[in-house]
Amino acid sequence: MFGDHFGLNIVHVEGEKRFLDALAGENDPEAKRKIIGRVFVEVFDEEALKLEDVKWLAQGTIYPDVIESAASATGKAHVIKSHHNVGGLPKEMKMGLVEPLRELFKDEVRKIGLELGLPYDMLYRHPFPGPGLGVRVLGEVKKEYCDLLRRADAIFIEELHKADLYNKVSQAFTVFLPVRSVGVMGDGRKYDWVVSLRAVETIDFMTAHWAHLPYDFLGRVSKPHHQRSEQHFPAWFMTSAASHRQRSSGNDV
């Protein structure tokens, strides 16, 4: 996306195996976040050393990241979820840190982006969690689960675009559930993995409520994806994400 809009020279690092190896056997979601954050910093540090005359690291940290990681920085608040971009960088890092959005909420960031003339599709693209699919796979993270989840998520997002609903929900995504379910396809039975589909509405991305989507869309997108040669059964989950905090944590699972 950055390459398409701004012609930037994006460096792609293939680190899948390194992350998967580090996550092997881990089921706890917060522990997975910390592992992913640690490996990210290690890989980033190694790649940064390969570049010459780099003096600054720019991060897109926003205020919800700071709030949700408050306890890790101050020890005085309850951790909602840790963010590797908040207090997770190595202290010996020689680059200066630039975080121009650190005290802004996502809705405020988008307003500024529009004023600056940034592309709408970039500003209003649904957010993706920093730890990636590692926190959208419940339980242990495996390559086969991530591959399946990517395909399921692509189908869900594609259907939202087709129905002109993508920009009417704040965030939509799939979650891999470590359970199998039995379904019928033609004259046979299928026994495959289950993924949940979630869509929420929010303004500040701190408090969210489930999105009210048309029943015909829910019926279409909830059909077993065997019809698309995908090996999973989708299940629609209507849940909201909120907590006791004002502008509290929206769940990115």
In this model, does residue 72 exceed pLDDT 80? no
Q: Which residue has the higher pLDDT, 80 or 178?
A: 178
Among residues 62, 96, 125, which one ends one of the domains?
Answer: 125
pTM (2 d.p.)? 0.79
What is the CATH number for 34? 3.40.50.620
Same domain, residue pair 78 and 138:
no
Q: Which of 64, 165, 171, 73 is nearest to 109 (CA)?
A: 64
Domain count, the chain: 2
Same domain, residue pair 203 and 252:
yes
| Cα–Cα dist 140/177, whole Å | 10
Burial 200-218 (b: 16+ CB within 10 A, else e): bebebbbbbebbebeeeee
In this model, does residue 252 exceed pLDDT 50? no
Q: What is the pLDDT of residues 202-232, one digit of tens each?
A: 988 888 899 999 999 988 887 765 455 555 6
Same domain, residue pair 115 and 139:
no
Among residues 81, 105, 125, which one ends one of the domains?
Answer: 125
Same domain, residue pair 152 and 106:
no
What is the CATH number for 179? 3.30.300.10
Same domain, residue pair 234 and 162:
yes
175 contact partners, CB below 8 Å, separation of at least 6: 136, 137, 138, 149, 195, 196, 198, 237, 253
In this model, does residue 3 exceed pLDDT 50? yes
In this model, does residue 201 exceed pLDDT 90? yes
The whole-chain average pLDDT of the chain stands at 81
Same domain, residue pair 118 and 31:
yes
Same domain, residue pair 87 and 190:
no
Same domain, residue pair 2 and 112:
yes
Same domain, residue pair 203 and 236:
yes
Q: What is the pLDDT of residues 101-116, one digit of tens each?
A: 999 999 999 999 999 9
pLDDT average, residue stretch 129-146: 93
The whole-number pLDDT of residue 222 equals 77
Same domain, residue pair 11 and 94:
yes
Same domain, residue pair 72 and 141:
no
The whole-number pLDDT of residue 143 equals 96
| Cα–Cα dist 17/130, whole Å | 17
- Domain membership of residue 206 as a residue range: 133-253
The whole-number pLDDT of residue 246 equals 32
Q: Which residue has the higher pLDDT, 57 or 36?
A: 36
Among residues 125, 144, 165, which one ends one of the domains?
Answer: 125
Q: Which of 203, 214, 251, 252 is nearest to 236 (CA)?
A: 214
Same domain, residue pair 3 and 120:
yes
